[in-house]
Amino acid sequence: MAEVNANGVLKGQVAVVTGASRGIGEAIAKRFAMEGAKVVVSARTVEASDHFLPGTIKQCVADIEAAGGTAAAIRSNLADPEERQRLISETESTFGPVDILVNNAAVTWFLPVIDFSEKRYRTMMDVQVYAPFELTQMVLPGMVERGSGWVLNISSHAAIHPEANAAGGHGGTVYGMCKAALERFTTGLAQELYGKGVGVNVISPGLVATPGVVHHKLINETNKDRVTPVEHMAEACLRLCHGDASSITGRIAYADEVIEEFGLEPADLV
């Protein structure tokens, strides 16, 4: 039975997880709380009526608290600069300085470049590239001063360069651009911070049947056998946010590889 270990590997640490109303973000928030972290669960969806997909930050927090964990829901639209600032300031006033930042939030349209509007393009870049950059800028000074901290960015296999002579594409060019930029940001920042006690990594989940993935019909007959449980991603993310930051940093990782490398047994979630 899933339970919270108040004395787990993240005991007393403050973690912010964006895009945590459902899917991968929700799973990460719950897994971190199970290891003793005080978790800020952030997204735009507070009430069920806020979004057509299931899942809210209030419910995620309720699940964590019911299991004996500590969490707080802070609504944030990461396309809005003021709300990005507020997310960190409210976190600090609620729990204290941020020890772990997980940049998971995403907004995505799968459209060919020729049909992509400037507004949608800028929104995707704001949420998936600039928001992680700015949130990281806000929490880094404290991490560096304390000599400890973790930044984990959530990417996708979409960041891998496709074959130009292969049919398809499915309108994922802008999404791939965002994730490729996030990966380069990760490795560059890891280099800048090496030796300062702050680990910076990026991880891709593989194919997980989250509400968003199902909605966008990204699972089909050709790939359905490769679908992995969300618990695997949560476990891999946890492993990249504790330990020796000098040896676990600058990674462009994939969940299945992390599970295998460290011999992890994914835990059930609360």
Say how far apart CA 64 and CA 69 lie, in whole Å: 5
C-alpha dihedral (246, 142, 36, 190), degrees to nearest 10? -30
- Using DSSP's 3-state secondary structure scheme, residue 152 falls into strand
Please indicate whether residue 121 is annotated as part of the active site.
Answer: no
Specify the pairing of strand 252-254 against strand 198-204: parallel
CA 254/CA 86 separation, integer angstroms? 31
Q: Which of 121, 175, 194, 254 is catalytic?
A: 175
Please choose, from the candidates 97, 191, 189, 94, the residue with its C-alpha nearest in 3D space to the C-alpha of residue 148.
Answer: 97
Where does residue 57 rank: exposed (0-12), middle (13-18), buried (19+ CB within 10 A)?
buried
Secondary structure of residue 85 in the 3-state scheme: helix
Which residues are part of the catalytic machinery?
175
